[in-house]
């Protein structure tokens, strides 16, 4: 039995933050009913067509869900929503600011009739404050949270290559819902969870914030190198490939000089006698390292680093990641059905050995509409009428 079997989640969601949260609840066995706009659905369905005609974002965040099409502004929508919530444990929404309240789906509007319901609202800036009504997308929050100020090169900022602000908010929504379910098990009471993308990213930015406390200089943008530890970052090898490595302490610096660079005298050179000194002398130290590495292949560099017990990694591409030998050895892939056929999917990280993660299909738009309505007591004629009226 999976941990969340018997838990029903109703979600009015789009894009990434809420869908990523609820997909993880589905991984744990929850029944997730995804409400989508008739005809078009979650707009993430149209982000691209890279997965055999389907959108990469959507395939990633929507397996194991049921798709119910419903025009939430239609007169027939509220009775359907109320019936759904009668059997729900959790309501998740990341609609535009204020939309849930206008639909009568705020925690305050629902708590009397549904005292056990957990309502999770995900937004860019939170439920109050001067930014409450601002629209927020991932890149905008990366910028607003200061992430862009420390990411990129000295000449130009760069965004994260994945939806890091959405992922942060989705993870905090997911973990807080799990905590709320535990608390409800003790108290019998639901609650409201207010997740802000800005606050989620600000939490993740706390190291650079503390580094710059009291007006101190913030960490500089250092490309793929570490902003404050050196050597720590990418270095080219003689075969044109790049090796990523990282040193953390003086013992590792000595080992790096002895066994990797094979210049033990560098370990005693006062110009490089501390991390602060090495960081200040990056340019000349990098030239020394690159000169040694230029005579070696990337694999030869990694062999030396491994022998010296210096942390290192390949600079992998997406194609390399699909074929990663560690993921294959640990059997981390499963096949998931989609409207375009089966695709490989990564098993959720960290699942215990007492149960298996749910890896059910990615739904077609409205695939479960009729079955859900039947489960709510609607007859065939009523369902046909709702379709005719474009309510569903």
Report the catalytic residues: 166
Bridge partner residues of 314 (DSSP): 243
Could you report how far apart the first and last alpha carbons of the chain are, in Å?
33
Identify the CA nearest to 57 among candidates 13, 96, 20.
20
Rounded CA separation 66/194 (Å): 24
In Å, what is the CA distance from 16 to each residue of 20, 167, 230?
Answer: 6, 7, 35
Rounded CA separation 249/231 (Å): 11
Helices (H), 196-256: 197-204, 206-211, 250-255
Orientation of helix 197-204 relative to helix 164-187, angle to 10° = 100
Identify the CA nearest to 200 among candidates 294, 136, 112.
136
Tokens for 315?
């600079």
CA 258 to chain centre: 40
In Å, what is the CA distance from 301 to each residue of 83, 267, 277, 310, 355?
Answer: 62, 19, 24, 11, 41
């Amino acid at each position: 039995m999976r941990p969340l079997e018997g838990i029903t989640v109703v979600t009015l969601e789009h894009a990434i933050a809420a869908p990523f949260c609820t997909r993880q609840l589905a991984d744990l066995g929850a029944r997730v009913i995804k409400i989508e706009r008739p005809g078009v659905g979650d707009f993430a369905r149209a982000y691209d067509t890279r997965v055999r005609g389907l959108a990469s974002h959507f395939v990633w965040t929507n397996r194991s869900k049921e798709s119910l099409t419903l025009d939430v502004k239609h007169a027939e929508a509220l009775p359907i929503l109320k019936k759904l919530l009668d059997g729900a444990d959790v309501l998740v929404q990341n609609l535009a600011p204020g939309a849930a309240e206008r639909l009568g789906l705020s925690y305050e509007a629902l708590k009397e009739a549904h005292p056990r319901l957990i309502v999770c609202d995900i937004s860019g800036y939170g439920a109050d404050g001067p930014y409450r009504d601002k629209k927020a997308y991932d890149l905008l929050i990366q910028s607003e949270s200061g992430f862009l100020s420390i990411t990129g090169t000295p000449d130009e900022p760069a965004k994260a290559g994945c939806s890091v602000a959405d992922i942060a908010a989705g993870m905090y929504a997911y973990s807080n819902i799990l905590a709320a379910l535990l608390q409800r098990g003790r108290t019998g009471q639901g609650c409201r969870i207010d997740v802000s993308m800005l606050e989620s990213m600000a939490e993740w930015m706390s190291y650079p914030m503390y580094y710059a406390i009291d007006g101190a200089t913030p960490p500089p943008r250092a490309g793929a190198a570490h902003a404050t530890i050196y050597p720590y970052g990418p270095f080219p090898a003689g075969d044109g490939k790049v090796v990523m490595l990282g040193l953390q302490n003086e013992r590792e610096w000595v080992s790096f000089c002895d066994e990797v660079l094979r210049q033990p005298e560098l370990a005693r050179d006062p110009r490089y006698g501390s991390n602060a000194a090495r960081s200040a002398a990056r340019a000349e130290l990098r030239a020394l390292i690159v000169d040694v590495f230029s005579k070696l292949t990337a694999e030869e560099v990694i062999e030396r680093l491994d022998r010296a017990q210096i942390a290192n990694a390949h600079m992998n591409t997406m194609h390399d990641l699909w074929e990663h030998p560690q993921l294959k050895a640990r059997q981390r892939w499963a096949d998931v059905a989609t409207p375009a056929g089966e695709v490989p999917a990564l098993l959720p990280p960290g699942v215990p050995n007492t149960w298996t993660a749910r890896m059910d299909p990615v739904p077609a738009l409205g695939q479960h509409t009729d079955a859900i309505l039947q489960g709510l007591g609607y007859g065939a004629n009523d369902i046909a009428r709702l379709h005719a009226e474009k309510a569903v």
